[in-house]
Amino acid sequence: MNQIKGEMKELVRKDVYVCAPILGENVEDIVESAAAAIKSGADLLEIRLDALPDQDPELVEDLLQQISYPTIATNRLPEEGGFFQGPETKRIEVLLAAAQWADYVDVELRTRDKYKSEVIEASKSTIVSYHNFQETPPREELLELATRATTEGDLAKLAVMPRSMQDTLTVLEVVSRCENTIAISMGKLGSYTRVVAPLFGSPITYASLEEEIAPGQLNIKTTCEILNKFINRR
């Protein structure tokens, strides 16, 4: 068993980051949750701007300055599990404001090319993401999605819903074959991939502060404890 464990350590990336999604209806709630997530051990914070009722670019800039911690700014589309309500031009305007302060901006692969290019150009680094809450597309389709996303941005993110254990294994195979790709199999069936995918090369995994934000998320403390057994984290 110790030999297997040692071999697994040799396979993994040395830098695997635990990211905590942070939602709140006002700046105060988000800042408070961010502080709690940092205290729990999160390396990154995904600031879910789509949960803010007030989509004021100046408010977003002030929020990110207050947090002053490595962040991913997201203004998630409803079609991909988000809460944003409004015109696409407004959603992009908010992401562009966040780009000045966030370490990464997450923009969906399905975003219109014109707007996506604007966000990518304005950002320090980008995650180009794909979420599917209904199914896990075939392996070749996922490989194509990852290639498209990493061609456009710095990292790809694939989060899909499994219908069988084989679907979860497909996700692990894809992440093992694609560099700079975050891969997640969601739901209870795929929850184990949140700590196993980093062993296959996923640079970031997502963990909740308290209640799960996405199906199958583990909490920050549990995620960190499991990863620390296999990975020489910072």
Per-residue pLDDT of the chain (234 residues; tens, 9 = 90+): 233 233 333 333 447 899 999 999 999 999 999 999 999 999 999 999 999 999 999 999 999 999 989 999 999 999 999 999 999 999 999 999 999 999 999 999 999 999 999 999 999 999 999 999 999 999 999 999 999 999 999 999 999 999 999 999 999 999 999 999 999 999 999 999 999 999 999 999 999 987 666 777 889 999 999 998 887 655
| Within a domain: 129 | yes
| Within a domain: 10 | no
| Within a domain: 3 | no
Count Cα neighbours of 176 within 13 Å in the Cβ-side half-sphere: 12
Tokens for 61?
């800039």
Give residue 212's pLDDT.
60
| Within a domain: 8 | no
Give residue 8's pLDDT.
32
Say whether 182 sits in a helix, a strand or coil: strand
Give residue 13's pLDDT.
41
Q: Tell me which residues are annotated as active site.
A: 131, 157
| Within a domain: 21 | yes
| Within a domain: 7 | no
* pTM, entire model: 0.89
| Within a domain: 6 | no
DSSP class of residue 98? H
18, β-bridge pairs: 205
Q: What is the CATH number of the domain that holds 219?
A: 3.20.20.70
| Within a domain: 139 | yes
Going by C-beta distance under 8 Å and a sequence separation of 6 or more, which residues neighbour residue 196?
172
Domain that holds residue 193: 15-229
Tokens for 168?
């979860």
Backbone dihedral angles phi then psi of residue 73, each to the nearest 5 degrees: -95, 130
> Number of structural domains, the chain?
1
